[in-house]
Amino acid sequence: MSAAGPPDYLAVNRAAWTRNNLDYTDAKADRNWAQTEIAWGMWKVPESQLKALPDLTGKDVIELGCGTAYFGSWIKRHGASRVLGVDLTPAQLTTAHRLNDQYQLGLELLEANAESVPLPDATFDLAFSEYGASIWCDPYKWIPEAARLLRAGGELVFLRSSTLSALCMPEEGRIGEKLLRPQRDINRLEWGGEQPSVEFSLGHGDLFRLLRDTGFGVLDLIEVFAPEDAFDHTYYSDISAEWARKWPSEEIWRARKR
């Protein structure tokens, strides 16, 4: 937070996610909560295939940027003892509360900025994010915050858009086979249009060093491709399945706090 107040992107992204909730995520949440298998990202690649997560049994887990908290619901059903979801957008949390009441899974939900979570140090065994803090928060703020919240030996697992997709994504329309921006500029990506938003995306070297310097050892970097039988996503249509079968559109980082 600067002396002038909270960072500019918080209000912009809260507005974007309030709109997304109305347009899409509230309805999608019912389908996702009804599912029990853990599956990652826009291509829904099963965890059984990617093996990105540690054993969840008995773990205390925090999701940073939980949205409608469907991923947290899967984590709870796979043995975690406590799952707490943090999100900035009240509309997303309203959907999460609705489904948490319906499924009686006992998730805890907290409205907060994932860059500054009002919880004590060393409280969780696993912190994760699937397109939450991992792309909507400043990595130089949320990764140290995740480190603070984790116990020694705890793990941080997050999915984000791949570096390559950030480099090839146009302002409008579909991703192509051309580099459209310098990698030096991708930490902060401002999207304009009808519903502006601000995303963050560090290159691999910078992200690796940030994790190392905040006390993590990197265990894995899993590049996620679209499966052979994947169809184009109906809502997130800017990346085609054809592109993502050739290049990884998403990546999962797994790191352990020393």
Which residue ranges make up the site for ligand SAM (CB under 6 A)? Answer: 10, 13, 17, 25, 65-67, 71, 86-89, 92, 113-115, 130-133, 136-137
Is residue 200 within a helix (H) or strand (E), and if so which, with residue range? Answer: strand 197-200
Pick 183 or 195: Cβ nearer ligand SAM: 195
DSSP of 231-248, one letter per residue? PPPSSSTTS-HHHHHHS-
Task: Find how far residue 166's CA is from the centre of its chain.
Answer: 15
Name the minimum Å distance from CB 158 to ligand SAM.
10
Distance CA 255, CA 154 (A): 9
Name the minimum Å distance from CB 93 to ligand SAM.
8
Pick 117 or 241: Cβ nearer ligand SAM: 117
Name the minimum Å distance from CB 177 to ligand SAM.
26
Pick 66 or 207: Cβ nearer ligand SAM: 66
Sign of CA dihedral 159, 58, 117, 154: negative
CB atoms within 10 A of CB 132: 25
Q: Point out the residue whose Cβ comes nearest to ligand SAM.
A: 67
Name the minimum Å distance from CB 197 to ligand SAM.
9
Pick 60 or 115: Cβ nearer ligand SAM: 115
Pick 112 or 180: Cβ nearer ligand SAM: 112
Distance CA 3, CA 229 (A): 51
Name the minimum Å distance from CB 8 to ligand SAM.
12
> Both tokens of residue 216?
């993590």
How many angstroms separate the first and last alpha carbons of the chain? 27
